[in-house]
């Protein structure tokens, strides 16, 4: 394990930077290209990179599978909850103007942020869950069979 020292140090430096960039893409998605889906994939990449370098057990200590599953449900709940809240207020599903009826453009901005957050949370959870599923499988071939 010591022969991967440089890779491990660089990964530890990159993970924080990748997460910070994911937040940048998330919160600037309504003004520039990007948003929830792209930010979710970038956020998941940080944890997947950590898992590839340090192993599945290490990344699951940082981000346990039970949290990943709850994250997927939370993201869907935020997205759908935003739409349902609009319906409760008497508007159409995902009609963001209802979030601030006195200033519709502020309501639009708030609604977009909530929906994109829901998408980002869901995509992060799903991508990490897929990685856990594939990385946790037992290999069919042994190392000597290659």
- Residue 1 scores a pLDDT above 60: no
* Closest residue by Cα to residue 122 from 28, 50, 51, 26: 26
State the residue for tokens 């057990």: 57
Confidence of residue 30 (pLDDT cuts 50, 70, 90): low
- Tell me: pLDDT of 31 over 70: no
Tokens of 109: 């901005």
Task: Decide which of 66 and 4 is more confident.
Answer: 66
**CA–CA separation, 99 and 119 (whole Å):** 19
Is the confidence at residue 4, as pLDDT, over 60?
yes
Please name the residue ranges forming H helices in the chain.
5-27, 36-54, 56-62, 65-88, 104-135
Q: What is the mean pLDDT of residues 129-133?
A: 96
Region of residue 94 (phi > 0: left; psi between -120 and 50: alpha; otherwise: beta):
left
pLDDT band at 27 (very low <50, low <70, confident <90, very high): confident
Distances (CA, A) of 138 to 51, 66, 121, 126: 16, 20, 28, 21
Express as a percent the part of the chain with pLDDT over 70.
91
C-alpha Rg value of the chain to the nearest Å: 19
- More confident site: 33 or 59: 59
What does the pLDDT read at residue 32?
65
Q: In this structure, what token pair is assigned to residue 3?
A: 């022969």
Q: What would the pLDDT profile of 43-97 be if each residue is shown by its tens digit? A: 999 999 999 999 999 999 999 999 999 999 999 999 999 889 888 888 888 787 7
Which of 2, 7, 13 is CA-nearest to residue 46?
Answer: 13
């Amino acid at each position: 394990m010591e022969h991967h020292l440089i890779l491990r140090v660089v990964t530890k430096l990159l993970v924080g930077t990748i997460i910070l960039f994911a937040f940048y893409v998330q919160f600037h998605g309504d003004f520039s290209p990007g948003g929830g889906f792209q930010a979710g994939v970038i956020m998941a990449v940080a944890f997947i990179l950590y898992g590839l370098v340090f192993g599945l057990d290490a990344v699951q200590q940082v981000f346990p599978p039970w949290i990943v599953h709850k994250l997927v449900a939370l993201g869907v709940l935020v997205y759908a909850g935003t739409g349902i809240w609009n319906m409760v207020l008497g508007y159409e599903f995902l009609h963001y103007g209802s979030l601030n009826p006195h200033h519709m453009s502020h309501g639009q901005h708030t609604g977009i942020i909530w929906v994109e957050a829901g998408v980002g949370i869901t995509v992060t959870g799903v991508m990490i869950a897929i990685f856990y599923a594939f990385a946790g499988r037992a290999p069919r071939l042994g190392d000597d069979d290659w």
